[in-house]
């Protein structure tokens, strides 16, 4: 199964200024769990670099990703544009 989502990361801005990018990655994991019901989540390094590109204080408000689930329930998250 393969789906493309626009993940809203606005909840990361509730966190302290110096933890926003870290919180954005947590929000992405929560979104993946809610929508894909995985047994394991693998986040591609390009997604991590996109979230952290502007530093820890200023992650993007939303990010477009492609989530692919294989037969074992492992979900791989990668950038949709890649």
- Residue pair 27/7 in contact by the 8 Å Cβ criterion: yes
* pTM, full prediction: 0.94
Fold of 2-79: Ribosomal Protein L31e; Chain: W; (3.10.440)
Q: Which pLDDT score, from 0 to 100, does residue 5 have?
A: 97
2 beta partners: 68
* pLDDT tens track for 33-60: 999 999 999 999 999 999 999 999 999 9
* CA atoms of 16 and 78, how far apart (whole Å): 26
Does the pLDDT at position 82 exceed 80?
no
* CA atoms of 42 and 78, how far apart (whole Å): 9
């Amino acid at each position: 199964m393969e789906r493309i989502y626009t993940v809203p990361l606005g909840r990361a801005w509730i966190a302290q200024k110096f933890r926003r990018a870290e919180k954005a990655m947590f929000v992405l994991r929560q979104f993946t769990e809610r929508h894909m019901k995985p047994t394991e989540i693998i986040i591609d390094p390009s997604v991590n670099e996109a979230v952290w590109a502007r530093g820890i204080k200023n992650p993007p408000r939303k990010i477009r990703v492609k989530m692919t689930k294989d037969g074992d329930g492992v979900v791989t998250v990668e950038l949709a544009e890649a």
